[in-house]
Chain A
Amino acid sequence: MTGSRLLGIILIIATVVLVVMGTIHPNQSGAMIADSRARLIGSASSPQDAVNNLMQQIGRRTWEAAYASLANKGEFTETEFVRDLNGNYGSLRSYANLDGFDSQPLRASGDEAQVRARMRWASVVGIFEDSRDLRVVRNGSQWEVAWPIVREAKVPPQVIPVNYLRWDVVYRGAEDDWGAQDVEAPHVRIIAMHPVDRGGGVVILGEVLNEDVVPAFVTVKASLLGSNGSTLATEDSFDKISHILLPKQVSPFRIDFRNVRLSQVDSVRIQPSANLVAASADPVIGIEGQKLTPLPDSSLTGSLVNQSGQVVNVAHVIGTFYDNKGQIVWVADQYPSRALLPQTPVPFTISLPADVSNKVGSYRVVASTYSSSRFQ
């Protein structure tokens, strides 16, 4: 009886101590960004506190307070600050929320410090990271962040002549004779396929070609068959493909199967399917300055240049990586978070697994685009 009473008293004291500790030293990690309730933002008595406070304000979209806390707000307007973080022109950033952040001190002196902030933004196509090296300066007893503004490029007023080319489709009518033809579905062909054992699963890598003269909406489905002919698993390429293929255009595809070992697989059945769709041949996207970055940050970097006059809201970059014999060894993709303005380069980075990076002899990159002002 005495023992249980003592245990109860200990638990009450421990609870009170923890509540007090939590109040005095609140968790400043980025995991709390999603909490919409107002939180106490502590004083910026250290460079890292200043960065954490700013990140929390960004996470809560309290732009005015975030802008007011900056050391270099005289260098840009609040609108430019918001556009830097929140994007513009309906880009991926416009619909993203700060999911979390990490801050890492890089160097510090008496009046100035440098802190690396890694922001993780949640978007409809997954998480994308935005890393900024922030200069933090002392202002009296407080520290303030000097924000490294990335100004959105301004396209000078101009007229860009574009001969738009698009395909419209008229299907057969309900009153047509039963023998009357309908428009033929586009013909697509798998021109490469390579299954690999990876991460406890099987990955099918390949390329598909639209060999027709009309645009096609393409999907690729694959089934893994066992030695007795039974289907072990069926998956499709989801977004690891450029779905709209113009005539003679090639897209890579990647189909991931989890929990199936390559040793179990006797054969693979690939089923490409293509539907005729209305499509536009524009905009044309140049993929310039492609460069492989070796380990430890193995990746393919480059920039997308919108050669047309139309704003592209969201772009999707897919890279196909080949070994020295020309066999596909990996397919990876990335969605750049900024909109593609006419004639304005936007950087992209496609991450590569470390073990694949050493095998890459050549690569090929395709870009597909989504514009809200366009039907496609």
Chain B
Amino acid sequence: MRSWVTLLCALIVVVTVPGLAGHASAQASDLRFPQKVEAGTAFSVSTTGSGSATLYIIGPGDTIRRVVHLGESISFGPDDLHNAGHYVAFLVSGSSTQNAQFEVTASHQAATLSFLAKPSRLPVNLPNGVSGVAYVFDIFRNLILQPQQISFELSDSSGRAQIRSATSRDGVAWVKMNSAAKAGPAQFQAEVASVRNKRVIQQVPGDPCSIRMTAHGLGQKDKARVALETEPVRDCNGNPVPDGTIVTFTETYQGGQSMVDVPLKRGVAKTELPSHNGAVISVASGVVMGNEIRWSGGL
């Protein structure tokens, strides 16, 4: 894309500069630019001849027009060329034109790091569940294509950390890491040189594990109903399952059934159902079954 833009700009210059058309392609290239220039560095280019001329430089996102004196060096400051890419230069003097092509490369000094961490929320204990992708840029937001050593660190809420490093290739480095066994926000950090970028990964409890409930009659309050309550629901790593998780109580009795979906509140789910002597009451959450109770205290 950039090369097309460059060519288009060059074409515009050729058409708009009087006397340039028909000569540019025929002129030998005496303009001696370095083949590669690092973005943000100062450099100079020598010229030959006498009198004044106009220098045009066209590159990705940069266009420079400068009147120069032939025979003197043309100096470029650190801020003159900062977008990496392919550049074309034309030196126009009367009917003669000299041209040159050169590359501006990204600075080797990393200045910013764009860090993509996916997903932002995942269950605990998931192997290779977290992926981190880092893009290294210089101070001018040019992607640094030279290999860079990038360090990735994923630390869970208890402070335990997994550290991996990866070498960037064409400006990109990525890793995959395991989610921790402990639920909570995890800090995921990428670092190159002294540049860091941090993301937060929410590590959430997995499926409930061994759901247990108890049942008791309501006594004089309401003899026709049975109160059901789970013990605090945890996943298989001991993390409390978050409030709002649905627990389903099902009561099956001769010729009928009652059920209710109850959200966990403060770690437990509790409800009341009609009391039937001999009813079998079961509890489940999602696809995980809990214990069963045969109720013998009903009407």
A: residues with CB less than 8 A from B are 163, 165, 167, 177-184, 191, 209, 211-215, 246-250, 281-282, 284-291, 302, 307, 363-367
Chain B contact residues, CB within 8 Å of chain A: 114-122, 135, 197, 199-200, 204-205, 207-208, 242-248, 250, 255-263, 265-266, 271-274, 285-287
| A residues in contact with B255, CB < 8 Å | 291
Minimal Cβ-Cβ distance residue in A for B245? A247
Contact A163 B258 (CB under 8 A): no
Instruction: Out of A177, A248, A363, name the residue touching B285 (CB < 8 Å).
Output: A248
Looking at the assembled complex, report how far the CB atom of B96 sits from the nearest CB atom of chain A, in whole angstroms: 46
Asked if residues A247 and B273 are in contact (CB atoms below 8 Å), the reply is no
Are A285 and B246 neighbours in the complex by a CB distance under 8 Å? Answer: no
Q: Give CA–CA (A181, B265) in the complex, Å.
A: 29
Interface core residue of A182, A287, A366 (most chain B CB under 10 Å): A287
Is the CB–CB distance between A247 and B258 below 8 Å?
no
Q: Write the nearest CB–CB distance from B252 to chain A, whole angstroms.
A: 9
List, in ascending order, chain B residues with CB within 8 A of A184's CB: 119-122
**With A178-B114, A181-B118, A191-B287 given, is the CB distance from A289 to B256 under 8 Å?**
yes
Q: Which of A211, A307, A365 contacts B271 (CB 8 A)?
A: A307
A365–B263 alpha-carbon span in the complex (Å): 16
Asked, given contacts A209-B286, A288-B274, whether A179 binds B246 with beta carbons under 8 Å apart, the answer is no
Q: How far is the CA of A132 from the CA of B259 in the complex (A)?
A: 29
State in angstroms the CA–CA spacing of A138 and B269 once bound together.
57
Between B197, B255, B257, the greatest number of chain A beta carbons within 10 A of the residue's beta carbon is seen for B257
A71 CA to B205 CA, complexed, in Å: 64
Judge whether A286 and B273 touch: CB under 8 Å: yes
6 of the cross-chain contacts (CB-CB < 8 Å) are: A181-B200, A249-B261, A289-B274, A363-B257, A366-B261, A367-B261
> B-side binding surface: helix, strand, loop or mixed?
strand
Complex alpha-carbon distance, A53 and B232, angstroms: 61
Q: How far is the CA of A287 from the CA of B249 in the complex (A)?
A: 10
Q: Which of B114, B261, B273 gathers the greatest number of chain A CB atoms within 10 Å?
A: B261
- Contact call B286/A215, Cβ cutoff below 8 A: no
B260 with A307: CB separation less than 8 A: yes
Whether B244 lies near A167 (C-beta < 8 A) is: yes
The answer to whether B199 and A181 have CB atoms under 8 Å apart is: yes
Is A179 a contact partner of B114 (Cβ separation < 8 A)?
yes
- Decide yes or no: A284 and B287 within 8 Å by CB, A167-B244, A248-B246 being known contacts: no
> In the complex the two chains form, what is the Cα distance from A155 to B114 in whole Å?
59
- CB neighbours of A182 from chain B (8 A): 120
Q: Is the CB of A288 within 8 A of B119?
A: no
CA distance A290 to B255 in the complex (A): 9
Cβ-defined contact, B274 with A247, below 8 A:
no
Bound: A213/B266 CA distance, A: 15
Check A250–B286 contact: CB distance below 8 A: yes
- Nearest CB in chain B: distance from A281 CB, A: 4
Chain A residues within 8 Å of B121, by CB: 183-184, 212-214
